Amino acid sequence: MDIARPPDLWTLDNFPIVIAGPCSAESEEQVLRTARQLAKIPEVKVFRSGLWKPRTRPGTFEGVGEKGMQWLEKVKAETGLMTTVEVARPEHVELALKHGIDILWLGARTVVNPFVVQELAEAMKGVSVTVMVKNPIIPDLKLWIGALERVNTAGIRQLLAVHRGFHYFKKSPFRNAPMWEIPIELKRLVPQLPIIVDPSHICGRRDLLQEISQKAVDLEMDGLMLEVHENPEAALTDAAQQITPDVLNTLLNNLILRKRTGSPAFENRLEALRTEIDKLDGEMLQILAKRLEIIDEIGDYKRDNNITILQMKRWAGIITDRLSIGTNLGLDEQFLKKLLNLIHKESIQRQTKIFNKK
């Protein structure tokens, strides 16, 4: 992807950009009062606000729509903050551009639908605007990248990804499971793409925001988008996850920023330790390959003698024995169980292949 960093966003050295504002614009006063307070926080660069809200069920507050555009124009004129809104229909794109919105964002429900993403991308063709693409609700990295590519192909170079967590069927304290491995993999595949983390939609509740914001910073994510409301309890949408501007200020002040690189002595020592890790990983993989070779031999032997693959007693014995060895070596029991199961699964698969070859 041909991506350029929007130059006006990262003006503070070593600090992630902060995008803040209410989940939804509710009234002109609410928008302006919140923006005035946010403008006093130096880290806040962009004011966010939803005008068209994708609600799960009809009959709830669905946003103020077009009339909110004028409020955002006032925010920009009065505070100098940049503005961003969610666009879900080509008409929204048109209106946002007409009213000088600086950044458009595609929401998690939109990004699951390539038809809609394509329509939005086409509405942006030839326009110089910054666009943020949230991850789709489901944990599908390809779908996320696909949406980014559609927007990029339409000529949008100032592109950002927003990590807002993923729907997950297991019980978790989060509204949307962070599954950090997915944004990390996105960073590996598209290193030049900035990733903003949206702790509000990951957490779904105020008390977890600090922890997730810190995690985002520790993982070298490029920014934070947080929902801020002058009176969170009374918010018409996402009340449980919004915070006041004051609480945001405290949250940002409490963030521990770590340096990305250290002194030459530090870098040398780190390099030496990493070399050791590389060597150990190599040895570990060779041992693993050797183990699986022997598994294949056992597979052949069992097949030739008409013996079943899964030998429960042997497997139970392995678990007990390896857990005892591993925990004595200081390895975590849950980790060991996962690792042993993974190796066992692979062993069974290889033997099954051998059995089917017959």
Per-residue CA distances from 30 to 21, 35, 232, 239, 241 (Å): 10, 8, 11, 14, 17
63 makes contact with ligand PEP (CB under 6 A): no
Residues 270-329 close enough to bind ligand PEP by CB under 6 A: none
Q: According to the binding rule CB under 6 A, does residue 151 interact with ligand PEP? A: no
- Of all residues in the shown chain, the one whose CB is closest to ligand PEP is 107
CB 133 within 8 A of CB 111: yes
Q: How far is the CB of 110 from ligand PEP (least distance, A)?
A: 7
From residue 87 to residue 116, what is the string marking binding to ligand PEP with x (rule CB under 6 A)?
A: --------------------xxx-------
**Is residue 54 close enough to count as binding ligand PEP by CB under 6 A?**
yes
Q: Where does the chain show beta strands of DSSP type E?
A: 17-21, 44-48, 82-86, 103-106, 130-134, 159-163, 195-197, 223-227
Residue 91, classed as helix, strand or coil, is helix
User: In angstroms, what is the minimal distance from the CB of 137 to ligand PEP?
Assistant: 7
Q: Residue 21 touches which of Mn ion, ligand PEP, none (CB < 5 to 8 A by kind)?
A: none
Number of residues lying near ligand PEP (CB under 6 A): 9
| Residue facing Mn ion at closest CB distance | 23
Among 45, 76, 163, 164, binds ligand PEP (CB under 6 A): 164
Q: Are 178 and 219 in contact (CB under 8 A)?
A: no
In the complex, the smallest distance separating the C-beta of residue 246 from ligand PEP, rounded to whole angstroms, is 21
- Rounded to a whole number of angstroms, the minimum distance from the CB of residue 97 to Mn ion is 23
Query: Which one of ligand PEP, Mn ion, none interacts with residue 164, CB within 5 to 8 A by kind?
Result: ligand PEP
Give the number of other Cβ atoms within 10 Å of residue 203's Cβ: 25
Nearer to ligand PEP, 52 or 95 (CB): 52
Decide: is 23 part of the binding site for ligand PEP (CB under 6 A). yes
Which residues of the shown chain bind Mn ion in the complex (CB under 5 A)? 23, 238
Burial annotation 22-34 (CB, 10 A radius, 16+ → b, else e): bbbbbeeebbbeb
201 binds ligand PEP (CB under 6 A): yes
36 vs 109 by CB, closer to ligand PEP: 109
Cα 73–chain centre separation = 29
Taking CB under 6 A as the rule, does residue 134 contact ligand PEP?
yes
d(CA 16, CA 152) in angstroms, rounded, equals 23
CB of 241 to Mn ion, least distance (A): 7
| Cβ(160)–Cβ(148) below 8 Å | no
Exposure string (b/e) for 283-296, b if CB count within 10 Å is 16 or more?
eeeeeeeeeeeebe
Site residues for ligand PEP per CB under 6 A? 23, 50, 54, 107-109, 134, 164, 201
